[in-house]
Structure 1
């Protein structure tokens, strides 16, 4: 860890890069693996069934801005 002029604060070198790589790994691999575990979700009370099409999922830019979603 490095000291940033202020003796009480330290930073991890390249932390944002490490964090971004972990996020990309989650989106590209881990999320799909988790989706495979739940291909079908049933709501027996309502007699409904939801199916995930894991092979075809994709993330896209949101249609609205973050400030409009709040």
Structure 2
């Protein structure tokens, strides 16, 4: 498993060819999302989620059930 820490709260986990990115916020480098299979958002503050960047990514985005994240369907 490879774990890469990006700016602020963003963490990228790579294991057996799969990529999970946690909290890719507005301060995170775009490269953190390269090849992502899924995204996990711990809460909806801008430092933990960049809605515009994720909207066009085309991968599942997992977030707390009570998260209010406009323009982004979460699973």
Between Structure 1 and Structure 2, which shows a larger proportion of helix residues?
1
TM over 0.5: no
- Scaled by the length of structure 1, the TM-score of the pair is 0.20
Of structures 1 and 2, the larger Rg is shown by 1
Normalised by the length of structure 2, the TM-score is 0.19
